[in-house]
Amino acid sequence: MNGFKKELTQNILPFWIDKMQDAEYGGFYGRIDGNDRLHKNANKGSVLNARILWTFSAAYRILKDEEYLDVATRAYDYIKQYFLDKKFGGVYWELDYKGNPANTKKQVYAQGFALYGFSEYYRATGNQEALDLAIELFHLIEKYKDKKYGGYFEAFTREWQPIEDMRLSEKDANEKKSMNTHLHILEPYTNLLRVWDNEELKKAQRELILIFSDKILNNNTFHQELFFGEDWAVRSSAISYGHDIEASWLLYEAAEVLGDKDLLDKIRQLSLKIADAASEGLVADGSMIYEKDRDHTDRERHWWVQAEAVVGYMYACKNSREISYKEKAARIWHYIQNQITDKHNGEWIWSRLEDGKVNQKDDKAGFWKCPYHNSRICLEMIEHFGME
């Protein structure tokens, strides 16, 4: 397997540098649709901007290209000026194209990604303010966690009060807790722990890892449950293959950075079982399908699922020394290069539909289509597996 550095530096990052920087209102445009049309007046999402911050910070830290630092700093400054709520703390969910708050709810998922971006910017630059902002968000997330049953609620009002609609997106269940939000609190806490040796953070991270092993993971199937009531009662029946394979390596990474040998040994074995369960989503062309419920299988091939699968199987190979996992990763990377990358317009398409056609209904860049999953596969392969 190779071509990761080329894909990152010649296809993914140039798209965001050349097409998404908003020269008029600052920061980045909110949307380029599936037909590669720019929507200058689209709203700007906190998750997109935080993921841009993480991506270009990580790219600069690893590749040392000053242009990446400029873009990371642009994202950092914009988030700090427009997304941070100076009165109640945390980041807004959504701004209009001019930078005015459009949706002021506090989605915990978004706080996690802002923390992820700030902590990576600190890793890349040593900017103390960025670390302070990450720590501030950590304390805020912990302040509003569930003290009775453990874990994190999905969302709050701007003032951090209970909110009726807690959904992350329209396709999600309106439940108080989700696998997805917990996975994307685990991930930034891991990154913060790399640069901030703090006992409260270590305690929160250990609790979070155990929530995955004891509550989120189905210990019969080794798939993750997706939605939960406040008391961790399971409220869904779907299987998300992409989230399974993503969790398999993010959980291992979290335990590794935490540095608890016994817990790491436990999670290493568990992560392999999760990767094996996710393999049920692999199909004949080497790719991974989206998800399965009791009466329906969604066979769409999403860009992010393929990206996380390559990294997940490479970690599984490292942890098991079984070459079959690397072979799975290689087949998925081959599929990505031939079916998901857009060699003409840059970046990656959202997905291939079950019939193989390009999905042009969903965005090329937008609220959920960010440079994070696909940049991260390239950066992980370069930094941790020595594959350029």
SS3 sequence of 305-355: HHHHHHHHHHHHHHHHCCHHHHHHHHHHHHHHHHHHECCCCCCECCEECCC
Kindly report, residue by residue over 262-303, the tens digit of the pLDDT: 999 999 999 999 999 999 999 999 999 999 998 899 999 999
Distance CA 316, CA 253 (A): 12
Give the model's pLDDT for residue 38.
98
Give the model's pLDDT for residue 236.
94
Q: With a threshold of 0.75, does the pTM exceed it?
A: yes
Query: In a 10 Å sphere around its CB, with 0-12 CB exposed, 13-18 middle and 19+ buried, how is residue 266 labelled?
Result: middle
Where helices occur in the chain by DSSP H, the ranges are 4-7, 13-19, 46-63, 66-78, 108-125, 128-143, 179-193, 199-211, 241-258, 261-278, 303-320, 323-335, 372-385
Tell me what percent of the residues of the chain surpass a pLDDT of 90: 98
Structure tokens at 98: 């001019």
Model confidence band, residue 171 (pLDDT cutoffs 50, 70, 90):
confident
Model confidence band, residue 151 (pLDDT cutoffs 50, 70, 90):
very high
Give the model's pLDDT for residue 117.
98
Mean pLDDT of 177-201: 98
pLDDT at 170 over 90: no
Angle CA 297–299–304, to nearest 5: 120
Give the model's pLDDT for residue 59.
98
* Nearest alpha-carbon partner for 69 in 78, 50, 56: 56
User: In whole numbers, what is the pLDDT of the chain averaged over residues?
Assistant: 97
Give the model's pLDDT for residue 22.
98
pLDDT at 311 over 90: yes
Give the model's pLDDT for residue 70.
98
Give the model's pLDDT for residue 357.
98
167 phi and psi angles, rounded to 5 deg: -65, 140
Pick the CATH number of 4-385 from 3.40.50.150, 1.50.10.10, 1.10.10.60, 2.60.420.10: 1.50.10.10
Give the model's pLDDT for residue 198.
98
Mean pLDDT of 348-364: 97
Distance CA 350, CA 144 (A): 34
Q: Domain locations in the chain?
A: 4-385
Give the model's pLDDT for residue 130.
98
pLDDT at 207 over 90: yes
